[in-house]
Amino acid sequence: MVLGDHIVDFLVPSAKLIIEVDGAYHQRRRAADSRRERKLGRLGYRVLRLDAELVLSALPAALQQ
């Protein structure tokens, strides 16, 4: 999904919620992801980050977070 100049994994507009599934790539982008999350927060969005490995191996556990 596209939100402004950002691509997000999942967007729930009615709840102003963004769900991001973070894989190994994101381990190297923590600072950039943090800046992006702050910017989205200023726009009123809450960002929920889930580990990709957990999502793939145990989706119910990931959703409990």
pLDDT digits (tens, 9 = 90+) for 7-53: 899 999 999 999 999 876 656 677 888 888 899 999 999 999 888 88
Say whether pLDDT at 55 is over 60: yes
Bridge partners for 3 per DSSP: 6
Helix (H) or strand (E) holding 43: none
Q: What pTM did the predictor assign? A: 0.75
The answer to whether 48 touches 17, Cβ cutoff 8 Å, is yes
Residue 58 CA to residue 61 CA, distance in Å, equals 5
- The confidence score (pLDDT) of residue 5 equals 80
Residue 17 CA to residue 55 CA, distance in Å, equals 18
- The confidence score (pLDDT) of residue 56 equals 82
- The confidence score (pLDDT) of residue 60 equals 84
Say whether pLDDT at 58 is over 60: yes
Is residue 32 exposed (0-12), middle (13-18) or buried (19+ Cβ within 10 Å)?
exposed
